[in-house]
Structures are given as structure tokens and as C-alpha cells.
Structure 1
Amino acid sequence: MTENLDLASDYSPTREQWLAAVDKVLKGKDFDRTLVTTTLDGLRIEPLYDAYPAGEDESGFPGFDPLTRGAQAAPRENGQWDIRTRTVHPDPAVANAQILEDLANGATSVEVQLDLGGGEGVSIRTPEELARVLDGVVLEAAPVSLRAGAHAATVAQWYRDLLAARGVHGAEPSGSLGIDPIGTLVTTGSVPMDAQMMAAMDVSNTPRLRTFLASGAPASGAGASEAQEIGYVLSVALLYLRALIEDGVDNPGSRITLEVTADVDVFATVAKIRALRHCWATVLETMGQPINTTQIVAISADRWLTQVDPWVNILRGTAATLGAVVGGADAVTLAPFDSAAGLPGDLGRRLARNTQLLLQDESGIGRVLDPAGGSWYVESFTDELAAAAWKFFQRIEAAGGPIEAVDEIGADIAVVAQRRDQQISTRRHPITGVSEFPLLDEQRPEPAPEPPADTRAPVAEPGHVHVETAWPQDRLADPYEELRENAGDATVFLANLGPISVHTARATFAANLFAAGGVRAVSDEGHQDADSAARAFADSGADIACICSSDDVYGELAAATAAALKQAGARRVYLAGKGDYDGVDEYIHLGVDVLDVLTRAEAAR
């Protein structure tokens, strides 16, 4: 009966036929509003992608110009990428123990954030303390990437002296000095520019050591879109590249590390890394340099980490790592899930390592070369993102480069950040466990104990240049978490009207909305009249109330219930849904500005 069954025999797969079929399903609804998503860069995410017209796919092959599909022509050996861990513990001895533990348990390189001036990171003031931090690390085998902000030039010299003292030959040590004066300038407002540029030019005796870091983290932390982050990284990297060329450094691209953030949007991360590699290859080719020598590192975006319900950060980190590896990052650094609350604990650090190890060794995603290649969606997204990033990059260059255009770049990023903040405020862009599905009775992990503050004077770094305004570095969950921290034992009474089948949907919606601000919902099975709801409110101890039911019930009881609740002492009365009823102060529904609602609720308590 099923012999020779050909399900596609009467179907010609044309886009026009598909659109006609979709139009029937939409029943008059607007196609774009219903099925098309627009990114913060203004790029359209279509519901369906099909093949490029003949000759229009310019992504090429892995290992060949324009490097969109990867810098190497063969898959990674054993499917392995550089699993990099970050060390930030202020105590040098503890930091050293953590580094050795990471390297012994799957990490292939380490990133050390150093603090020479009362900031964040491993607190050191002398070259001997740097040596203590790296004691037992085989520097010729384990790449070390340093971050020292305004003190990068000093640390670079200390590290070179340490290599010499340990007899590490020039051709052996790899890793990065992490000198990023532009990144330090835009995030702190000042940097010893000349000293850092000179330190990065000193490439003698260390042919494998990368000196400059062009990181997109400052732009990401300020709220940049994907295209803005890429454009910023390109402009900073080009400034460093020109300096190396002018200084006569051979193969200058090999001295620069490009760093971008990996976000919770897997496809956006994949496209961002592919687009960055394509654009940077174009820059190098234009400058007459080899195109496949620059390392691309992906780090998980700090802006998406949450203090509230931090366990969800484990999933965010997994998504970020997946996107980074599929996009072809050479190295990946994943922040521990508990790092937003302070120093990460042993569990957070272990899971950060093992997340990458699981994806590498059990999932095997590194064994396939450019696994996203050929996806019409990914290829189209990559091309459009590269074009948008290149346009932003050209604007920066036309304004004189990243230093001269720092305020202009910051202003452009602020516009995008404001749009994203609005999406988060309205929950169009949800934060799971924070703005959506909050867990008020959560059990958070205990943060690692903080050692005593280092009160020693900071290491002096003369010759700073300054900008008027540094870029903010915020987490997206901050406004919700602040409300939740201030809520204490606040409650909202849900005045459920009618039977359970009538009020449950809106009562659940209201309970979750108020819980996002730390306000616990108090409710019962439902009421048949306004006076019953008012008596229950008076017994609840709450200061505010929210009426929950169907539109039909609202027409009969909403106004009377609102009046009775006010008479019983409610400082503010909400209604779940839309309408215009006497006595109701505010309406909550899909699309409402949740942060505004919660802020006014806080003021009413």
C-alpha cells in the first residue's frame, strides 16, 4: 500500500508556494511582525532561508581567503581547542594553587588577571610575587595570558625577566602579554598609553609571545551589539597593527590576539566569530600582511551572568561555549557560574573546566571543521553581520580611529544598550530565573571567602592619557536584582475572582511578574464577591493587591473589588490584563514595562 510513495511528487518547492501557504496560516496577520525578528543591528532574521543564487556564496573553503570558514584547512587535532581558565583570586598563593589545579584537570592554558593597584585580580606589587603566582607552571608548555590593565607594561617586563630567570628559551613560551591600552582607556578613563605601546613593540627573543590584545569585552560590557563589538575590535586591532608595522615588526598580525564575547545566543556567537575572522583577514590583506596568523579568543559575556539563580549561568555558559567553538574560536574562556556574586568557588571553577571538556571529549564538536558552514541561515547571518560591522568600523576610522572616536563610539553603543534594556524591562528579552520564572526560595552557592584587602600603595604608572567619560560595564540583570535585594519580605495579595479555571492563568502571570522584583504572591482559591476578597486581603498582611480573573468577571466585579481593596488598606491596586476600571491603579499584561511596574510597587510599600 505504501510502495512507491513519493510525498513530494506533487509539490514544487518554490518560495512563492511556501509564502502562499504561510499567508493562509497567518490569516491576515502581518508577515514581518509575526515571523521576522530584527536584531539590534537592524538585521532581519527570516523564518526560512534557502540556497544562494549560483555564484553568490563567497564564504570559500576553510583555511583559504576570506577565512570565514576558519583559518585552518584541516580539523583541530583530536577535535581539541585551547581550553583556557581565568584566575582572579587576590591571594598569590591561592591563585597559584588554582592555576596548577586547572592545568592538572583539563585546562590547556591559563589567563591571570593581575592587580597592582587596589582593583580586581591577583594582588601583586613586585616581580617576586608574579613569580610566586606562576611557581610550578611550565611556561614553555602551558601558555599564560596576562591581564594587568593600566599596569600591563610593568607586568610585561616582569614576565620577560621571569622567562629569562627560568632559562626559558625565546622560541618556546607562547601565550599573551594582554596589552590593551585602548580597552583600559575606555573602561577606566585613563591609561599610560606610551609605556604600554612601547612594551608591546618589544618582541625580541619571544617570537611566539603575543603582545597586543584587542578585546571586545569593553564594548560588550557597555551594551554593544554584535556588529558594534566587531567594528570596535577591528579599529583597535588596526591601531595596534599599524604601530607594529611602523616599528618594523615581522609578521605583526601574529603579535595580536583578537578577543570577542560569546553570548547566550548561539547563532549570533557563531556568526560573530566567523564575521570577525572574515573582516580581519580583509584588513590584513589590505595592509599586505599574512591573513591567517592572528589568534581569536572567545570569552563568555559577563553581562549575561546573574547573581540571582546563578545555576542558570551553567546553561548560559554551555550555550556560549558551543557558539564559540562552532564559530571557530582558537581558545575559549568560560567564566565560572558563580563569579557574578564574588570570587568563584571550587565548584564553579570545576564546572567551567568540565563544561568545555564535555563539549570537546563527549560531544566532539571540535572534530568537524566549520560545522555551521553551508547552513543558509548562518552563512546569510555571517555575511550581513560582517557588512554591518565593516560599516561601523569605517565610521570609526573616518572619525580618526578608536581614541579620537571614543566618545562617538560610546554614544552609539549607549543607544543600542538602551534598546536592549527596554527589551529586558518589558521581558521581550527574558532573563531566565530573574525576569522570568524567578525562584524566591533559591539556594545559592556559598561564595569563596574574600581575603583581607591589600592596603599597599599601588605600583606607580606615569604618563597617563585620559578620556572624559569611561564606558559603563553593567550586567543586564542588575535592575531586577537590585529590586529583589530591596524587597525583603514584601508580598502582594492576589485577589482571585471566580473559580480556579477562570483566574489561574492570570494569577500565575501576576505571581511570576511580582516575583521578578522579589515580591511574594499571597493568594487563595478565589472569591465570588468584592467584600470576600477585601477581607482576605486585610488578613494577608500585604500592602498591595492584584485582581486576577477573566475579562467577563472583570466587567462585573473589577471596579467594586478595587474599591473594597482600597477601603481595606491597599496602597496600590493592580489588575492582570487590560481595561479601564475605576479604582485600578495599574494594569499588568504581556509587553508591560515590568521594571517600571516593580519600581512603583516598591515605592508603594
Structure 2
Amino acid sequence: MDGAHDLEEAYFERLKTSETWSGIPTRPLYRPEDLRELDYGRDLGDPGEYPYTRGVHRDMYRGRLWTRREVCGFGSARDTNARLRFQIAQGVSGLSVIDDNAGSLGIDADHPRGIAEAGVQGVSVSSLRDMEELFDGIPIDRVSVAFDISGLDCIAWMAMYVALAERRGVDLASLRGTVQNDTLHFQFCGYGDSCPVDLGVKTSVDIIEFCTRRMPRWYTGNANLYDMREQGLDASQEIAFGLSLAVAYVRKAIERGLAVDEFAPRRAFYCSAHVDFFEEVAKLRAARRLWARWMREHFGARDPRSWQFRFGVHTAAVSLVPQQPLNNAIRVAYQALAAVLAGAQSVHCCSYDEPIGLPTEASQTLAIRTQQILAHETGVGRVADPLGGSWYVESLTDQIEAGARRIMEEIEQVGGMIAAIKSGWVLAEVEKAALRRQQEIERGEKIVVGVNAFRAAREKETPGGVHVSPPGQGEALAAAVRDLRATRDRGRVSRALRALSEQARLGEHENVLPSMIEAAKASATVGEMLGTVRAAAGHLYDPLGVLPPPEL
């Protein structure tokens, strides 16, 4: 009987591999002698103490739980505002907003090639008017907001958000939140040509400088380890590439004239929590230790806050699959647990329908509830670093840190991350890693339930349904931008854009954000503001080469 044979085979089933997801060999048992070289004070320390392996705060979640966010953005600003309000009603403790494809390209919703991309994969925000609608009824002085935006439009979003705060009479010093602001990693997200490397880094440093001096409670950038991991990198590569991105911004900010201890305490990181549970816990602990050591050894940082690796976690969307989608909720729960046991400062849980489309209210509610159950029912927050001292976890932490440091030193040898990106070295490494991961799955060396094992009959529909964009969405968004252009004070817009252009032409160390804030207040669009800065830097006004620059 086939059934009897299958049952017997299942009974005697063994693990396919003894390696971690990243290929680190493991033994069946770990003992004290595996950590002979470990020195508690030097390599671990108590939570809240250098090198912060065990956490950046002594009491961790007893002092304050991690921020529970769900990335949000689709359709119009009004659509996303409604979902943000829904999230607040469901109990999130912070907001997270992502831009659409058109914005990521740095173009407006009415661009000839932007109409089809408007409101897709994020919210369409083309002007301050959209920003006002996005946060209508939301007290921005009392809520932490994260902008998951890394393209050139990042600086335009900051300009519009500051303009919104000033229009509401909100003190900029009271604003809490984070802007991703990692234009370098954007080279690997499909939008690279829209964000020239040098110009992107320059505007990133503009944001760092402005926020450091005007918005002391705002995190000036999140080095995006997460998107790099989504490309197929392993755990050590994720840390090394991500920390090297951060190092590049630190260097550029110092060149701008900022002291390292002036801005480094408000830098943060955006990490992945993948499927290999213990490896992910160890990876995040290793990242904390490596960053602390790197900042002290390489930059001479003296403020302990400059050594601290503060990070948010996004559960690994790349690990989710459209087959048997409810299984994704289980994957996400384990990943969120790893993030919390590793001491994350904030967590976003993917919705189970992420491989299929944007989340529905039902799937996003389940993602929110996953975090709430984790926070309030499981007891994982009672003790700081509860896996610290595990011979297995500490051994993995050491190995991942050592691997990451080797890669970082290799990047330094080729001239740092900016040079490594320009030379094509980083892209080559990313492509090799992605191919290796896919081949491992196709060969059955890595089991993905529902894909290469434990497959079910073809499913006819997604449980809970799918998010469907309304017909004509792009054209409606384009019409709104055309209406803005027709009704605004054109003279004021032209004067503001001329001032922005003049500011941008003054050189690499001249901050354009103040002029862009004034342009936003004048109702200049994102495409106009970014096009002006692009042209002043010697690039095409329109990244797609369709629209000519306007006469100012």
C-alpha cells in the first residue's frame, strides 16, 4: 500500500540538512568547551552595556514594549489614511507608510508613464495636499511615524512632512519617527536609474544634517538590511552589506562637518527576520556587537548611544509563498518571535497574503494580533535576552559576526560601499547569492512547505479574499494632480523652484531641504522638486527622459 509506505517513511523522516539556512554547519550538541574563548565582559556584557550583544537597554521590554507597526500604503492618500485609522483602532503602537511605484521613480501621478504606477505597492503622494490628506485626523506630534521610503523622493517626503508640521503649528522638536533614507540600497530595488548614487547620498546627508539640528527625536536614517536580505543574501551578508551601507553615510556626514557623536545616536537599522529561528536570533545579536565595535574602533565614537545598534524588524516576505497562504501566518509568527527574542525595537509582521497582493483588512488584523499575542500572552518580554548564554546561540553569534566582519573588511579593501556599488561588485555578490538560494530550493536541499514538499491540491481562491484596486485608480490620481497644477499660484511655485535650483547648484555640501520645504508649501509637486534637484546636479530632469524641464 502506497499509504502505508508513505506513513512509514514519514515516521522515520530525518532532517534534510544539518546546516543553517545560511550554510553554517551545526553539531547535534553544544557544550561549554565550544565557547572557551568567550569572555562575558568583552563579548557579551549585560543588556544596556557595551558591546550590547544582549540588548541596548538593561530592562528591555519591561521598560517599554517594542513598537508594533504594519507597513501601509495603497491607492490615494485618502485610501491609506482610512487604513491607518483602521490600524490605530486595532491597536498598533506606531505607523509605517510606504510610497508607490511612481513616487519611488521620482515622478508624479500624472506623468505619462506614472499613471499605471500611481497608487501601486504604496500610497500616491504628489504634493503637500496629499500629505495633508494622508495624516488627516492623525496627531503627528503624538504618534511615531516611520517612512519606509529610500528613493530620491525620500527628501521630498521629509520636506512635505515638515511643511505639514509647520502648517499645523507643531514644534519640529516634538516629532517622533524614522525615515528610511537609504538611497544606496535603492540601487538593488529595481529603481536604481532614478536615483543616481552620488546625488542620492548627498540628499541622504541633507536629511541627516537637517534632522540632527532641527528634529532631535527623529531617527535620520535606517540602513536597509531587510531589502538586501530579500535579494537572497545569507545572514552574515545581510549584516555586512547593511552595516557597510551605514558606514558610508557616517563617513559622508562627517565630511559634511557633523561630529560622529552629534548624529550617530539617531541612526537606526531595518532588518529581516528570516525562517531559520536560532540563526536569526544570533544574527541580530551579532549585528549589535559588530556595530558597537566598529563605531568605537573605526570612528572613535565616545557617546555610548553612538555604539548602539537600534533596529526594527520586518518579517521576511521573501520566505512567504502563494501556495497554501495560511501557512505564511505560521512562518510570520516564528519570525516575529525571533525578532523579539533578539531584542528588536520595532516589528512589522507581514500579512499572510503578501505573496499574492496588498493586505486586506482581515489579513492585516491577523498580523497585528500576532504581535499582540506575542507581547501579552507568551511572556517573551519578561526577561532581557533570554537565549543569551545558550552555547548554541552564542556559538552561532560568534560565527555570524566573524563572517560579517570578513565581508565588511573586503568591502573596505575595494574602497567602501559606494565604490563597491559603482564597480558592480555588490550586485555580482547579490546575484550569486540569489541564484544559490533558488537552486537549493529547486534541488530540494531546502524544504519550503507547499512548494517543493507537502504540496496540496490546487487552491481556487485565497482565504479571506484579496485586495483589489478600483478600476481607473491611476487616472483618478493623475486627474487630482492636474487639478492641483491648474488651481495653485503658478508664480509662487516658479519662485520657490528657482530658489531650490539656486540652492542645489551651490555644491555638494549645501543642504537643499530648507528650500524644498518652501517649495512644498508653495504646492510644488514631488516630480517638480526632484526634477529641479536632478537638473541642478547635471542629470536629466525627468528620470525616464519623457518630460522636458519647465521654464522657471
Normalising TM by the smaller chain, what interval? 0.7 to 0.9
CA contact 1:41–1:388 (8 Å) conserved in 2 = no
- Are 1:37 and 2:18 counterparts? yes
Report the CA distance shift for 1:258/1:34 in structure 2 as closer, same or farther (over 3 A): closer
Aligned 8 A contact 1:36 1:46 in 2? no
For residue 219 of structure 1, the aligned residue among 228, 232, 246 is 228
Quote the Cα distance in structure 2 between the aligned partners of 1:174 and 1:62. Answer: 24
**Using the alignment, how far apart are the partners of 1:465 and 1:41 within structure 2?**
42
TM-score by length of 1: 0.68
- Give the whole-Å Cα distance in 2 for the aligned partners of 1:40 and 1:340: 21
Report what 2:239 is aligned to. 230
Distance of aligned partners of 1:150 and 1:453 in 2 relative to their CA distance in 1, 3 Å threshold: farther
Is 1:269 aligned to residue 280 of structure 2?
Answer: yes
State whether structure 2 residue 236 is matched by structure 1 residue 255.
no
**More helix per residue: 1 or 2?**
2
Task: Describe how 1:102-121 pairs up with structure 2 within 5 A.
Answer: 102-115=87-100, 116=103, 117=107, 118=114, 119=117, 120-121=121-122
What's the offset of the Cα at 1:37?
A: 2.5
**Deviation at residue 56 of structure 1 after TM alignment:** 4.0
* 1:36–1:436 CA distance, 2 compared to 1 (3 A): closer
Instruction: Give the structure with the higher percent strand.
Output: 1
Which of 445, 449, 455 is the matching residue for 2:468?
449
| 1:431 and 2:448 correspond | yes
Please tell me the residue identity of whatever aligns with 2:177: G
What do you get for the CA RMSD once the two structures are aligned?
Answer: 2.3
Instruction: Tell me how far 1:417 sits from its aligned partner.
Output: 2.4
Q: 2: CA distance between counterparts of 1:465 and 1:371?
A: 53
Amino acid of the structure 1 residue aligned with 2:376: D
Q: Which residue of 2 aligns with 1:279?
A: 290
Instruction: Give the whole-Å Cα distance in 1 for the aligned partners of 2:178 and 2:538.
Output: 24
1:379 aligned to 2:394? yes
Maintained 8 Å contact 2:95/2:145:
yes
Return the match for 2:29 from 44, 48, 51. 48
Report SS of the residue matched to 1:454.
helix
Rg comparison, structure with higher value = 1
Task: Identify the match of residue 360 of structure 2 among 345, 356, 359.
Answer: 345
The one of 199, 209, 214 equivalent to 2:207 is 199
Q: How far off its partner does 1:370 sit?
A: 0.3
Q: Whole-Å Cα distance in 2 between the matches of residues 162 and 37 of structure 1?
A: 54
Report if the CA contact (8 A) 2:20-2:279 is conserved. no
Q: What SS is found at the alignment partner of 1:449?
A: coil
Bigger drift between 428-437 and 47-56 goes to: 47-56
* 1:189 and 2:192 correspond: yes
Q: Which residue pairs with 2:174 in the alignment?
A: 172
Unaligned runs of at least 5 residues, structure 1 = 1-32, 467-605
* Alpha-carbon offset, residue 314 of structure 1: 0.1
Mapped to 2, the partners of 1:94 and 1:346 lie a distance apart of: 12
How does 1:369-408 map onto structure 2 within 5 Å?
Answer: 369-406=384-421, 407-408=424-425
Check conservation: 1:284, 1:291, Cα contact below 8 A. no
Which deviates more from structure 2 when the two are superposed, residues 225-234 or residues 168-177?
168-177
Paired letter, 2:208: A
Structure 2: gaps (5+ residues): 1-13, 108-113, 482-525, 540-552
Shift in Å, 1:360:
0.5
Contact 2:20 2:276 in 1 (8 A): no
Q: Deviations over 1:193-237 (max 9, x none)?
A: 133332332123210111222001232121101100100111111
The CA deviation at 1:337 is 1.0
- Bigger drift between 181-190 and 258-267 goes to 181-190
User: How many residues are matched?
Assistant: 434
> What is aligned with 2:111?
none
AA in 2 matched with 1:44: P
CA distance in structure 2 between the partners assigned to 1:42 and 1:265 by the alignment: 11
8 Å CA contact 1:245, 1:252 repeated in 2: no
Structure with bigger RCO (C-alpha 8 Å, 6+ apart): 2
In 1, the alpha carbon distance for the partners of 2:468 and 2:209 equals 39
Q: Is the 8 Å Cα contact of residues 17 and 445 (structure 2) preserved in structure 1?
A: no
CA contact (8 A) 1:79 1:366 kept: no
Identity %: 29
Residue 131 to residue 273, structure 1, CA distance change in 2 (3 Å): same
State the 1:441 CA deviation: 4.3
C-alpha change, 1:465 and 1:76, in structure 2 (3 Å) is farther
8 A contact 1:261–1:298 mirrored in 2:
yes
The residue identity in structure 2 corresponding to 1:220 is R
Corresponding residue for residue 427 of structure 2: 410
Alignment partners' CA distance in 2, 1:382 and 1:84: 27
Cα pair 1:175 1:209 within 8 Å, conserved: yes
How many Å separate the matches in 2 of 1:339 and 1:96?
20
1:259 Cα deviation after fit: 1.1
Counterpart of 2:62? 77
Q: Residues 88 and 465 of structure 1: is their aligned pair in 2 closer, same or farther, counting only changes over 3 Å?
A: farther
Asked if the contact 1:110–1:145 (Cα under 8 Å) also holds between the matched residues in 2, the reply is yes
Per the alignment, residue 148 of structure 2 pairs with: 147
Distance 1:78 1:335 in 2: 26
Partner of 1:572: none
1:100 aligns with 2:102: no
C-alpha contact (below 8 Å) 2:184/2:418 kept by paired residues: yes
